[in-house]
Structure 1
């Protein structure tokens, strides 16, 4: 099963029999069996009929809403899992400082390792590029993570590794018309940051859906502090996959000229959005 992304503005998604149909002004754009869909992501002005929403919920298919430019708005989820024993174990681990640190350390260690590997792989595809300084800084952060004794220090070492990584990230971009100075999130101020933010939003949505299906509480995490409305567990799990799932794809799209500079629109001064 796969995720269905609806990006055609003013289109309509409706269920007919056991199929999902996307139409625009009476023309069918897509027609597929509902059993092939694991979740639906709506971007912008797309209508999902009430009957279709109910059908998605009955089949435990998440429905997520993003703006036309990829900013997360919200989601409609099926009823929460009935596996209370699993969630009890999850909460017990969250209240145990040692287990929380152990889990959080694993998330950060995986992230740092993938940051390092992503840099090295990308550098191999770029003649004469030297990222040894950033790789060594990430390795130092990895060694410190192994012996860290509290969450704040762990987050600090994660930040050190990420800073070294993004300090070298711009060197990996070979395409004309794109540059990257630093990671800027809210809001992204250049096309590369816009692509990264968009990719991270999609990845977070996928992981949110996955932990919900498995019966975990997406809002109870270990590395990310609890905050009302924040899916901390999904964000914890996302850390390890950011560089290999999102960053690598962004680099490939830019360096292979799949995405061009004129694919972006500027709004509110310096905010870059995908058109």
Structure 2
């Protein structure tokens, strides 16, 4: 069970062995720690050290979430040392190349699927936009074929080439998305205050995407750890101090169907509007209501079921399954194919 504590002045503590949530001194909820798999604390809430001890003892993932950052308290790494040793070795052989290519290939397939569905839904109402989306979809599919042709002995030799192709595809994808978002939202692509980076959003769409990806990133780190892998040792994304590069790799396959689709839906239904963004220090900040709605919709999406390898699994379970497939591939037990979905 996943629990969200959101709002100002709430306190998470322990009473009679139960995890409790209090607001203005009154208990609003009680849970047994063993019933939980994740506790998300969003907003200005507090938690006692006793509650943290019980949650960690029961391997509950505790996430502190804000618009531009998050922190986690989790149990020590699990799994076998052999898996992590193979993970480090794979960085210098063809396994790392395979994972890097699969991640980008799957990401492009998912971007293509989003554009296909957007074009299909506009075929009658706006045929010109539909045709352009279709052209752009075909163009990014051609780039995917280029990715698949890449070969090397280790990922370092081809990382820049793979990321270069991924970057071109992303430019086409976001330029396409910008065309179907109403002008009043001010979205002109994945851009932020920093040049070449979407950080420090200047418009509400980028603020929504950044927050949504932060939620997804936390889910991917949890999956990587449960699979017995080192989240800091990635393949497509190079090592950087403090960055969980493997979790970023894994996340690339899920951005489109978990976050992008939710953001586009909320905008198309006018559930979140431009007025739900205020500028603080030149950065767009979501209103509390918009942030809570987006968090709720992303978490709901994670619990939605989809077909995966012949099974009906939640997206959260698919993320974990993908992490475990990477681990299995690294120790030579199975192949790895990045997650993609055509609808």
Normalization by structure 1: what TM-score? 0.92
2:175–2:188 CA contact under 8 A, matched in 1: yes
Of residues 186, 202, 206, the one that matches 2:219 is 206
Name the CA distance, whole Å, in 2 between partners of 1:258 and 1:226. 38
Name the CA distance, whole Å, in 2 between partners of 1:82 and 1:180. 43
The match for 1:81 is 78
The match for 1:36 is 35
The match for 2:234 is 221
Of residues 133, 136, 141, the one that matches 1:134 is 136
Corresponding residue SS for 2:208: helix
How far did residue 122 of structure 1 move?
Answer: 2.2
The match for 1:91 is 88
1:247 maps onto 2:249 in alignment: no
Name the CA distance, whole Å, in 1 between partners of 2:173 and 2:92. 32
Task: Judge which range, 70-79 or 25-34, deviates more.
Answer: 25-34
2:20–2:31 CA contact under 8 A, matched in 1: yes
How far did residue 95 of structure 1 move?
Answer: 2.5
How far did residue 5 of structure 1 move?
Answer: 2.4
| Equivalent residue runs for 1:236-275 within 5 Å | 236-269=249-282, 271-275=283-287
The match for 1:182 is 189
The match for 1:147 is 149
1:235 maps onto 2:244 in alignment: no
Name the CA distance, whole Å, in 1 between partners of 2:241 and 2:223. 20
Aligned residues: 269
Corresponding residue SS for 1:203: helix
User: Which residues of structure 1 form unaligned runs of 5+?
Assistant: none
Corresponding residue SS for 1:177: helix
Name the CA distance, whole Å, in 2 between partners of 1:44 and 1:263. 17
How far did residue 233 of structure 1 move?
Answer: 0.7
Corresponding residue SS for 1:240: coil
Corresponding residue SS for 2:30: strand
Q: Superposition RMSD on alpha carbons, in Å?
A: 1.7
Corresponding residue SS for 1:75: strand
How far did residue 238 of structure 1 move?
Answer: 0.3
1:158 maps onto 2:142 in alignment: no
Name the CA distance, whole Å, in 2 between partners of 1:36 and 1:124. 43
Name the CA distance, whole Å, in 2 between partners of 1:103 and 1:77. 26
Name the CA distance, whole Å, in 2 between partners of 1:162 and 1:11. 40
User: Which residues of structure 2 form unaligned runs of 5+?
Assistant: 152-157, 192-197, 288-343
1:138–1:161 CA contact under 8 A, matched in 2: yes
1:21–1:31 CA contact under 8 A, matched in 2: yes
How far did residue 239 of structure 1 move?
Answer: 0.2
Corresponding residue SS for 1:60: coil
Normalization by structure 2: what TM-score? 0.74
Corresponding residue SS for 2:231: coil
